[in-house]
């Protein structure tokens, strides 16, 4: 177990190193950073001085080492457009994105798992058929369209929920949360549902397929033949055995939710990382782009690492060897 | 009043077009403390009877007619909730495969305790005490320590003991055992059968044993019911039914059971279930393509010589050679096979017999030792053409007829592939003619080539495998458990076919099986394997009449006795 964790950690470091290399080369190949920073009237001598001061004349490996050392300390340089450290901008935006992602993942799990279990156990019932066909719509409609649809229905027509923003935010110093106010909760519902709809469909279909597979196995038949109540057979024996593949997919999807909330954040004008990233792309703000790339990779790697460890927790066959 | 009374039971599976009747008008009775065997081949409906009793018929199956009474009380019409109270409490069930019938993610303790507490009003600690007692009574050593372990930490035989303990949790009056020993080795099978019989007598439990194995029936059953295509064809005391069968099906079934106590030349022709198509035209092997051009140099001395063959599998890899761990699957095994002879390898699972087959055919590379085929050292062959020439002379027939044929190819293409690959025929027309002749000769009939493998039964697929193996005109066949997935009557047909082909074509064979009886009928000489070592090599009659090695003796005594069976052959 320990050796396994160390090996996975080592692999994760290699991935991060490669991504850091990519993020670093962005500075080189997406325009000249000095040109981005100074005005038209800056003289060549001044430019050269700035270049020297920023260390852009140093050999590549030295620059890369400096970049990595900075990244480890969350120092990603200064944003070209906002003239502020990228780390500060992230700190302001990150809570919004994480809260949104967390809520939508929660929504996807809390609705997807029960629906999947139900549809797996009651294959022929009309309710499972409705689940399946409605969820098909969920996957096939693009996110922005669902967002707009929801805004039209709940904000414009019914006027129950706000159509943009985070509502009132409480600042806890290191974290700004919208989850402590009524308006914050109201504001998060629509974007969280929009973002989580696809994952919910995926989880539901996956659980359903796995359940259909598992309830055909001998140990489920044997559990029924021992007269165990359906609740124990279905939840303790069947559902737990479906979890390994479900955790893999859910883990990957959680990474995807956090990293690619961009579209939903744009539709709902959610003040998170995604919105900031889009503006950065429009303005060729390389420090933000490269930091965003690093952060996305970091989230993916971390989630995958946790997923691998979870396998061990769930499946004793991996944890305990044969005698 | 009997413990279990089944009268006139009919079970139907309604389909979209027609209704399939799985069991028709079956009546059985079982007394407490007795064992009733239900025997039959696949599709006989024997498992359906067991499932109907415990109320677990697969959808959309339903009891169309008849009654099932437990202690005089009707249980076939109970609603879901009421039948669940009987399951586990009054009727226990034992499944076939101990490797898959326990939940892999829960400890044995959790599974036992939850079952006990479902049926009996006990606290967790009382249930735990009872669970440990149960494990002790089914013969698991150190039950208090082992109860906290997961199923994968137990061996197959021990897991079957756990399954039995689970079935006995709430002191049921009736236990249904569906093929309880089919997945186990012969030595474990003997232990489990003894245990089941003893529990039955001790606890005065009635047991319904469902099996395809006449040996199991002969060993533990007081009464036996023979089923064929959903109908009960014969029912009576075991000695009576096995010793003096009346129905034609029972007779043919018993005659097809391979015997370890006598050697017979051929199995009597059993064509009650699935007759092979008679070849439409007889082929004179000596002039046909199959027999022609068998121009291998006659081997002087043994055809196959295996010398100090070993195979180690790495089970733990490490960059340091000293920390690597190996599993020695084959340990310095040596034997010879003479031309025209059938050499048998027999042993329990994990004894290394299949590994030897793979080493000889070049599917594995040996860790040590040599294999000489017709005087040539196989591992020394370097050029591809030499290797191909050797492979052409050696062919293999595998155990599982379902996974050894490519399901997306037509049968004619499957059989033609080796001929085309080795360029053994001059034109496509000739290839087509040869394939037709081959399929006809192995008993599949004309027109089989146009079909896909899934359109055939297990026995017919094994015939396709044999035709494919013959297509390279080999002189050496390796048969790795070729009939263990088949019903006995089909097994008899396939074994007869292999014997015929051997005589016609002068084939040399290596025949691998876990079944001592089958091995005796097929082989001239036999090697007994255990833990990767060859214990004993002897002529087949000598081995069975006067075994030398202790392990061979043990295996032979553990085999279910066939004395009860009528000697129809």
Please check whether residue B144 lies inside any domain of the structure.
Answer: yes
Please check whether residue A271 lies inside any domain of the structure.
Answer: yes
Please check whether residue B464 lies inside any domain of the structure.
Answer: no
| Residue pLDDT tens, chain B, 569 long | 788 999 999 999 888 888 888 899 899 999 998 999 999 888 788 889 999 999 888 878 889 889 999 988 888 888 888 888 889 889 999 988 888 889 988 899 999 999 999 998 999 999 999 999 989 888 888 888 889 888 888 888 888 889 999 998 888 999 999 988 887 888 888 888 888 888 888 889 999 999 988 888 888 899 999 998 888 999 999 988 888 888 888 888 888 888 877 777 777 765 565 555 565 566 666 667 776 655 566 667 788 899 999 988 877 766 777 777 788 888 889 999 998 899 999 988 878 888 899 899 888 888 888 898 888 888 777 788 888 888 888 899 988 888 889 888 999 999 999 988 888 888 888 888 888 888 888 888 777 888 888 888 888 889 999 999 988 888 899 999 888 878 888 888 889 889 888 888 888 999 999 888 888 888 999 999 998 889 999 998 888 888 899 999 888 888 877 777 765 54
Q: Which of B256, B279, B295 is the last residue of a domain?
A: B256
Helix (H) or strand (E) holding B237: strand B231-237
Of residues A11 and A178, which shows the higher confidence score?
A11
Chain B neighbors of A218, CB-CB under 8 A = 95-97, 100-101
CATH of the domain at B79: 3.40.50.300
Closest residue by Cα to residue B391 from B424, B353, B431, B422:
B422
Q: Is there a contact between A219 and B103 if contact means CB atoms under 8 Å apart?
A: yes
Domain count, chain B: 2
Same structural domain, B26 and B95: yes
Please check whether residue A17 lies inside any domain of the structure.
Answer: no
Tell me: pLDDT of A36 over 70: no
Same structural domain, B250 and B393: no
Please name the residues in contact with B198: beta carbons below 8 A apart, sequence gap of 6 or more. none
CA distance B119 to chain A (A): 8
Q: Is there a contact between A315 and B102 if contact means CB atoms under 8 Å apart?
A: no
State residue A260's pLDDT score. Answer: 66
Q: Which residues pair with B207 in a beta bridge?
A: B35, B175
Q: Is there a contact between A222 and B101 if contact means CB atoms under 8 Å apart?
A: yes
CATH of the domain at A218: 1.10.3720.10
CA angle B221, B224, B227 (to 5 degrees): 140
Tell me: pLDDT of A12 over 80: yes
Most B CBs within 10 Å: which of A226, A242, A319, as the mutation test of the B interface? A226
- In contact, A90 and A295? CB cutoff 8 Å: yes
Q: Is there a contact between A232 and B114 if contact means CB atoms under 8 Å apart?
A: yes
Q: Is there a contact between A226 and B106 if contact means CB atoms under 8 Å apart?
A: no
CA B192/CA B202 separation, integer angstroms: 15
Q: In this structure, what token pair is assigned to residue B166?
A: 């689970």
State residue B286's pLDDT score. Answer: 60
Please check whether residue B141 lies inside any domain of the structure.
Answer: yes
Residue B351, number of CB atoms within 10 A of its CB: 24
Same structural domain, B244 and B314: no
Q: What percent of chain A has pLDDT over 70?
A: 95
* Cα nearest neighbour of A315 on chain B: B105
Domain span at A126: 87-277
> pTM for the full model?
0.79
Please check whether residue B471 lies inside any domain of the structure.
Answer: no
Domain span at B335: 304-318+326-401+476-558
* Cα nearest neighbour of A313 on chain B: B105
Indicate the residue of A221, A228, A323 with minimum beta-carbon distance to B56.
A221
CA distance A303 to chain B (A): 23
Q: In this structure, what token pair is assigned to residue B332?
A: 């310095």
Please check whether residue A273 lies inside any domain of the structure.
Answer: yes
Q: Is there a contact between A316 and B118 if contact means CB atoms under 8 Å apart?
A: no
Please check whether residue A124 lies inside any domain of the structure.
Answer: yes
Same structural domain, B179 and B310: no
Domain count, chain A: 1
State residue A252's pLDDT score. Answer: 79
Chain A neighbors of B88, CB-CB under 8 A = 225-228
Please check whether residue B413 lies inside any domain of the structure.
Answer: no
Same structural domain, B230 and B360: no
Q: Is there a contact between B153 and A320 if contact means CB atoms under 8 Å apart?
A: yes
Same structural domain, B240 and B314: no
Closest residue by Cα to residue A57 from A42, A47, A69:
A47
Most B CBs within 10 Å: which of A125, A219, A237, A240, as the mutation test of the B interface? A219
CA distance B165 to chain A (A): 11
**Least confident segment among A129-133, A202-206, B204-208, B269-273:** B269-273
* ipTM greater than cut 0.85: no
Helix (H) or strand (E) holding A58: none
Q: For A274-313, how does the pLDDT look when each residue is reduced to its tens digit (9 = 90+)? A: 888 888 888 777 888 888 888 888 888 888 888 888 888 8
Same structural domain, B128 and B210: yes
Please check whether residue B266 lies inside any domain of the structure.
Answer: no
Same structural domain, B247 and B375: no
Same structural domain, B176 and B32: yes
State residue B298's pLDDT score. Answer: 66
């Amino acid at each position: 177990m320990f050796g396994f964790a160390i090996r996975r950690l080592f692999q994760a470091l290699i991935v991060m190193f490669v991504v850091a290399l990519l993020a670093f080369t962005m500075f080189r190949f997406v325009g000249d950073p000095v040109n981005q920073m100074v005005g038209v009237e800056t003289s060549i001598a001044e430019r050269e001085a700035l270049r020297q001061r920023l260390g852009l004349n140093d050999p590549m490996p030295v620059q890369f080492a400096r970049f990595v050392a900075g990244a480890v300390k969350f120092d990603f340089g200064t944003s070209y457009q906002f003239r502020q450290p990228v780390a500060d901008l992230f700190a302001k935006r990150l809570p919004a994105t994480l809260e949104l992602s967390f809520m939508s993942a929660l929504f996807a799990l809390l609705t997807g798992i029960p629906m999947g279990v139900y549809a797996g156990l009651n294959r022929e019932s009309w309710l499972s058929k409705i689940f399946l066909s409605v969820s098909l719509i969920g996957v096939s409609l693009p996110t922005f369209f669902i967002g707009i649809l929801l805004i039209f229905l709940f904000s414009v027509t019914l006027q129950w929920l706000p159509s943009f923003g985070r509502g009132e935010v409480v600042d806890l110093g290191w974290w700004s949360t919208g989850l402590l106010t009524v308006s914050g909760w109201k504001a998060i519902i629509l974007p969280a549902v929009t973002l989580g709809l696809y994952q919910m469909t995926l989880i539901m279909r996956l659980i359903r397929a796995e359940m259909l597979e598992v309830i055909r196995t001998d140990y489920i038949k044997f559990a029924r033949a021992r007269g165990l109540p359906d609740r124990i057979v279905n939840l303790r024996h069947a559902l737990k055995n479906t979890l390994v593949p479900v955790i893999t997919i859910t883990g990957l999807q959680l990474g995807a939710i956090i990293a690619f909330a961009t579209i939903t954040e744009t539709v709902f004008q959610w003040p998170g990382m995604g919105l900031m990233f889009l503006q950065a792309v429009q303005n060729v703000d390389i420090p933000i782009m490269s930091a965003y790339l690093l952060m996305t990779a970091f989230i993916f790697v971390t989630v995958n690492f946790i997923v691998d460890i979870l396998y061990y927790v769930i499946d004793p066959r991996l944890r305990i060897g044969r005698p | 009043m009997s413990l279990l009374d089944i009268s006139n039971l009919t079970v139907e599976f309604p389909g979209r077009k027609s209704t399939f009747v799985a069991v028709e008008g079956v009546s059985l009775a079982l007394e407490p403390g007795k064992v009733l065997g239900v025997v039959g081949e696949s599709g006989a409906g024997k498992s359906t009877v067991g499932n109907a009793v415990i109320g677990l018929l697969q959808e959309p199956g339903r009891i169309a007619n008849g009654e099932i009474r437990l202690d005089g009380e009707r249980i076939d019409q109970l609603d879901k909730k009421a039948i669940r109270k009987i399951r586990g409490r009054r009727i226990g069930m034992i499944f076939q495969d101990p490797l898959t019938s326990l939940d892999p993610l829960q400890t044995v303790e959790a599974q036992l305790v939850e079952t006990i507490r479902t049926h009996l009003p006990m606290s967790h600690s009382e249930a735990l005490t009872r669970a440990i007692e149960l494990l002790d009574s089914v013969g698991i050593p150190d039950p208090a320590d082992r109860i906290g372990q997961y199923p994968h930490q137990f061996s197959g035989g021990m897991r079957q003991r756990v399954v039995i303990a689970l079935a006995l949790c709430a002191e049921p009056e009736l236990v249904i055992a569906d093929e309880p020993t089919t997945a186990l080795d012969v030595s474990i099978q003997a232990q489990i059968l003894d245990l089941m019989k003893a529990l039955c007598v001790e606890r005065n439990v009635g047991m319904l044993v469902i099996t395809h194995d006449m040996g199991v029936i002969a060993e533990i059953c007081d009464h036996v019911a023979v089923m064929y295509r959903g109908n009960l064809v014969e029912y009576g005391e075991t000695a009576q039914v096995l010793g003096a069968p009346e129905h034609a099906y029972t007779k043919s079934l018993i005659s097809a059971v391979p015997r370890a106590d006598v050697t017979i030349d051929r199995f009597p022709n059993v064509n009650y279930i699935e007759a092979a198509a008679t070849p439409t035209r007889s082929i004179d092997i000596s002039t046909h393509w199959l027999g022609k051009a068998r121009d291998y140099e006659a081997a002087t001395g043994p055809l196959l010589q295996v010398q100090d063959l070993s195979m180690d599998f790495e089970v733990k890899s490490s960059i340091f050679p000293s920390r690597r761990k190996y599993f020695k699957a084959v340990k310095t095994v040596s034997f010879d096979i003479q031309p025209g002879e059938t050499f048998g390898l027999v042993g329990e699972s994990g004894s290394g017999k299949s590994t030897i087959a793979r080493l000889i055919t070049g599917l594995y590379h040996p860790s040590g030792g040599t294999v000489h085929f017709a005087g040539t050292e196989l591992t020394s062959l370097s050029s591809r053409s030499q290797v191909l020439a050797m492979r052409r002379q050696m062919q293999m027939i595998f155990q599982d007829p379902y996974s050894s044929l490519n399901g997306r190819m037509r049968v004619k293409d499957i059989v033609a592939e080796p001929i085309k690959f080795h360029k053994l025929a001059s034109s496509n027309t000739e290839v087509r003619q040869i394939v037709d002749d081959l399929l006809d000769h192995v008993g599949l009939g004309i027109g089989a080539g146009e079909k896909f493998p899934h359109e055939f039964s297990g026995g017919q697929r094994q015939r396709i495998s044999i035709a494919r193996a013959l297509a390279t005109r080999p002189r050496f066949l390796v048969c790795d458990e070729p009939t263990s997935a088949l019903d006995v009557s089909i097994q008899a047909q396939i074994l007869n076919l292999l014997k015929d082909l051997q005589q016609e074509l002068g084939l040399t064979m290596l025949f691998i099986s876990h079944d001592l009886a089958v091995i005796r009928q097929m082989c001239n000489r036999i090697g007994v394997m255990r833990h990767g070592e060859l214990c004993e090599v002897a002529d087949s009659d000598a081995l069975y009449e006067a075994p030398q090695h202790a392990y061979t003796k043990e295996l032979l005594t553990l085999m279910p006795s066939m004395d009860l069976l009528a000697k129809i052959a």
